[in-house]
Chain A
Amino acid sequence: MEIFGVPSALLGSQLLVGLINGSFYAILSLGLAIIFGLLNIINFAHGAQYMMGAFVAWIALTKFGINYWVALLVAPIVVGALGVLLERTMLRKLYKLDHLYGLLLTFGLALIFEGVFRDQYGISGQSYPVPELLEGGVNLGFMYLPIYRGWIVIAALAVCFGTWFMIEKTKLGAYLRAGTENPQMVQALGINVPLLITFTYGYGVALAAFAGVLAAPVYQVNPLMGSNLIIVVFAVVVIGGMGSIMGAILTGLGLGLIEGLTRVFYPEGSAVVVFIIMVIVLLVRPAGLFGKA
C-alpha cells in the first residue's frame, strides 16, 4: 500500500514518531505555559528537569531495582520536590525584578544540572529497557505499532488533558487562573498565593520529569537530551502562544506530526521545520496561534 508514493508502513511509523515527539512537545510546552502564567518566568531549566526525570528513573532501576511503573510516579515527585526547593530559595526572590532574570537564573541552573550529570555519566547514553507489560507490538495491517510507543501517546495525552481539566474545571484551577489574571486581588481574597506559586512551579517541573520517564525507554538517557529538545519547545511556545492550555497541547501535537511528515518527504528539513513554521507564524500572526496580542 502506498500513499503519495510513500510506503504506508514508512509513513505510518514516521507519523507515529512525530506523534511521540509531539506528545513531548505538548507536555513540556504545557508545563512552560502554566509556569509562565503564574510566575512570569520562562523556565529554561525545563529541558534539564526532563533529563533529570529520565535519569532518576534510570538510577532507580539500576541502583535500587525500582520498576518503571513506580518510577513514573516517583521521578516526577523527586524532581518536582527539587523544583519546589528552587522556587522557595531562589526564584521567589526574583519576582519583583525584570522577568529576564528568571530566564537567566534558570539558564544557569540548567547548565549546572547538565554539567553534574555529564560529569557523572558521560555523554554516551544509558539505555532503559521497555517495561515487560508494554513489550512487543501489534500489526495494524498498514503498519507495525510497538506497544510502548502507543503507550507514550496515550499516557501523554491523559496527563495533558488531566492537567487541562484540573485548570479549567476544578476549584484549585480556578484559583490558579485567577492568580494568573490578578495575584494581588486573589491574595486579598484570602488565598495563599505564594503557596499556589510554589505548587505551580513544582507541578510544571514534575510534568517535565514525567515526560523524561516516558522518554527513557525510547531515547537514550543522556545528559544532553533535554537541551536539544527545549529549544524546539521554545519555538513551539512561540508558535502557540502561552495564553491557552489547550492551545499548547494542540500546537505541540500538531508540530510533532508536521515534523514526522517532513522526515518522510524531505528528511534534511526535519531539524528546522519547526523553526521555519515559527518564522511564518511570526510574520502572519505575531501573537502566536492561540495567543492574545
Chain B
Amino acid sequence: MKNNDSVFTRIMPFLFGLLFLIGLVAPFAVYPTFLMKILCFGLFACAFNLLLGFAGLLSFGHAAFLGTAGYVCGMLVRDVGVTPEIGLIGGTVAAGLLGWLFGVLAIRRTGIYFAMITLALAQMVYFVVLQVRATGGEDGFQGVPRGNLFGLIDLSNNISMYYLVFAVFCIGFFIIYRTVHSPFGQILKAIRENEPRAISLGYDVTKFKLMAFIISASLAGLAGATKTLVFQLASLTDVHWHTSGEVVLMTLLGGLGTILGPLVGAGTVVSLQTELADIVGSWVTVIMGSIFVICVMLFRRGIVGEIQALIQRAGIR
C-alpha cells in the first residue's frame, strides 16, 4: 500500500500542474461558457464528494446549497448592487449557514435516513423558493449583471469571466485538497470506515461530520453563486432534487472518493447533456438514469477510480 501511495504522490504534482496549464489556455480552444459550466459543476461535485467520498455521508439535498447561494448572490448583485466578489462571498456564507442547519438536523440519523432527511429538507427549500415573491418563482431570478470585479475588471467579457471562474475553482479545489489531506480529513476517513471505533478513540464524531457538512455546503454554495454570475440567472432547476441527483451521478461516474473524479464526472455529464440535448431530446433523463444503473452495477469505482486501480496494479508489478 505504501508503495502505491508513493506512485500517486509522485504523479500528482505533475498532473495538477498539467491540468492547471490546460485550464489556463483552454478558453482559447473551447467555448468559454461551456468550460465555465463544467468548472462550476466540477466544484459542486468536488464539494459533494468531500462529504460522500471522504466522510461517507450521502446528501441528497445538495441542490439546496447550490441554489440558495445562487439566489442570494443574484439578489446581492442585482438588487443591492454590490460588486461580484461580495456576491460570491455572500452566497457562500448563506449556503454555509443553511448547511449548518441541515447538518445539525441530518446528522442525528445515519445512512439511508441521512439521505432521506437531506432530500426532504432540500425539498422544503425548493417550495420556499417557489413561493417567495423575491425569487421570481417559476421565472427564476433573471438579469443578474456580471458587474466589475473589485469594481475594476469588467466581467461582461467571457474571457475575463472565465479566469474568475477558473480562479474560484482552483481556490475551492485547493480547500478540498487541503481538507482531505489534513488530520481532519484523516479523521473523516476513519469515521467513514468505522464510526464506533472513531468514537471509542475519543473523537467527537458529530462535530467532525457537521464540520465536513458545512465545508461541503459552503463550497457547493460558492459553485452556485459563481454559476449565477456566469449565466446571469438563478433558476428553480438549481434547487430541484434533479440537480441533487445529478451531482451524485457526476461524483459516482467520475469516481467516489477520488480527488479528481468529480471534475471528470462533471465534465462528462455536462458534455453529454449539451451534446445529447439536440439529438435525443427528452431521452436525456433516461440516459442519465441508465448511466446511474450502469455505474452502480458494473462500474462502482468510476472513471478515475478505475484508472487509479490500473496504475496500482501496474505499480505492484
Interface residues of A (CB under 8 A from B): 36, 41-42, 90, 93-94, 97, 99-101, 103-105, 107-116, 118-119, 227, 231-232, 234-235, 237-238, 268, 271-272, 275-276, 278-279, 282-283, 286-287
**Smallest CB-CB separation from A236: which chain B residue?**
B120
Residues A275 and B286 in contact in the complex (CB < 8 Å), given A105-B293, A111-B292, A282-B117: no
Q: Residues 278-317 of chain B: 1 if any A CB is under 8 Å from the residue's CB, otherwise 0?
A: 0001111111111111011100100000000000000000
Q: 13 additional contacts, CB 8 Å, given A100-B58, A100-B115?
A: A104-B295, A108-B288, A112-B285, A115-B285, A119-B282, A232-B123, A235-B116, A238-B120, A268-B131, A271-B131, A272-B124, A283-B108, A286-B109
Are A108 and B289 CB-contacts (below 8 A) given A90-B297, A282-B117? Answer: yes
Name which residue of chain A comes closest to B281, CB basis: A119
Q: A116-B286, A282-B108 given as contacts; is B292 within 8 A of A104 (CB)?
A: yes
Q: Is the CB of A105 within 8 A of B127?
A: no
With contacts A231-B241, A275-B124 taken as known, whether A115 is within 8 angstroms of B116 at the C-beta atoms is no
How far apart are the CA atoms of A271 and B129 in the complex, in Å? 12
Interface bin, chain B: 35 or more
Mark B90-117 against chain A: 1 for CB-CB distance below 8 A, else 0: 0000000000000001001101110111
**B286 near A111 (CB under 8 angstroms)?**
yes
Contacts of B117 in A (CB 8 A): 238, 278, 282
A residues less than 8 Å from B112 (CB atoms): 36, 41-42, 99-100, 103
A-B contact pairs, 30 of them (CB 8 A): A36-B112, A42-B116, A100-B115, A103-B115, A104-B296, A105-B296, A105-B297, A107-B245, A108-B288, A108-B289, A108-B292, A108-B293, A109-B293, A111-B292, A112-B290, A114-B289, A115-B287, A119-B281, A119-B286, A234-B116, A235-B123, A237-B116, A238-B116, A238-B117, A271-B131, A272-B124, A275-B120, A282-B108, A282-B109, A286-B109
B199 within 8 A of A: no
**Chain B interface SS verdict (over half):** helix
In whole angstroms, what is the CA distance A93 to B293 when docked?
A: 12
How far in angstroms is the closest Cβ of chain A from B99?
15
For the complex, is B270 an interface residue (Cβ under 8 Å from A)? no
On chain A, the residues within 8 Å of B82 by CB distance are none
Could you tell me the distance between the alpha carbons of A9 and B18 in the complex, rounded to whole angstroms? 71
Chain A residues with CB under 8 Å of B86's CB are none
Nearest chain B residue, comparing its CB with the CB of A239: B120
Tell me which of B108, B120, B245, B284 contacts A235 (CB under 8 A): B120
Number of A-B contacts (CB under 8 A): 118
Q: How far, in Å, is B162 (CB) from chain A's closest CB?
A: 31
- Which residue of B121, B283, B293 contacts A115 across the interface (Cβ within 8 Å)? B283
Question: Assuming the A-B contacts A100-B58, A272-B128, are A94 and B296 also in contact, with contact meaning beta carbons closer than 8 angstroms in the complex?
Answer: yes
Residues of B within 8 A of A238 (CB): 109, 113, 116-117, 120
A16 and B69 alpha carbons, distance in the complex (Å): 39
Closest CB in chain A relative to B312 CB, distance in Å: 21
Note all chain B residues with C-beta closer than 8 A to A235.
116, 120, 123
Taking a contact as CB atoms closer than 8 A, the residue among A93, A237, A283 that contacts B297 in the complex is: A93
CA distance A103 to B284 in the complex (A): 21
Separation of A180 and B84 alpha carbons in the complex (Å): 55
Question: Which residue of the partner chain, among A42, A105, A268, contacts B115 with CB atoms under 8 Å?
Answer: A42
Closest to A234 in B: B116
